[in-house]
Amino acid sequence: MVSIAACQRLQSAWCAALATATGGKTFSTHGATWVWLPARRELMMMFPEAVRAHAVRPALAEGTRLGASSVRVWLNAAVDGAELAELGFGPSWQPWWMAAPVSAVVGPGDDAAVLTTEVPDYSGPLRQELGVARAQPRQAWHAVTRDPVHGNISGAAYSFHPVGVAGLQGLGGIHQLEVLPAYQRRGLATALLSATARAAGAAGAVDLAVNATPQGYAFLSRRGFALLGRGKTYALAL
């Protein structure tokens, strides 16, 4: 059975992979792991066992030096984030950790979604982050859907099956699944989910995890995902 701890390790591995693909880095201070995502100018603290203001300040200084515009702290629901308030952090969106067997997610009818590592339409962070799907060893896959008439992108998603990360054998993830509002309720999210899940499954994933939004919970629960629990995040604009 997939645990929340495994979901957290998977999220940390995904962010680290994005950092590597976009010229960022991971670093540690006071026992906490931080990830710098230069494409989005975001610094993230990944699931510390405890949060102390004096331990966060050095990382904020490094974020300022790097040119970060925002800082996000990911926490397990049981970790007290009260000391973040004195640094100016406020509560942000709540991850809903969900998991499903790959076999329950992959289905017919995913022809509308195409796996690709080349998306000429992308610019800025989207273009830079696509490098995660080209990196070797191969551990991430990207799929898009397009408007059948005009050819513009209507939706996209990633799947991720990290290589050599302790505690994540057989666990993959679905990340950044999105369908533009004008194209929703046409089965495109299902096609994207199925296509990316199939790719992760072919690479050895047995289960998939996702950090859903409350809005995405209903869709994912209909596609075989079960709620494991909720986390929390805090955010600071620099």
DSSP for 90-136, please give it. Answer: EE----EEEEEEHHHH--S--TT-EE-S--TT--HHHHHHGGGGT-S
What are 53-73's pLDDT values in tens digits?
Answer: 999 999 999 999 999 999 999
What are 212-227's pLDDT values in tens digits?
Answer: 998 899 999 999 999 9
- This prediction has a pTM of 0.96
The full set of domains in the chain, from first to last, is 4-96 (no CATH), 98-228 (3.40.630.30)
Q: Could you tell me the CA-to-CA distances from 144 to 20, 62, 155, 186 in Å, in that order? A: 22, 35, 6, 14
What are 113-123's pLDDT values in tens digits?
Answer: 999 999 999 99
Residues β-bridged to residue 7 = none
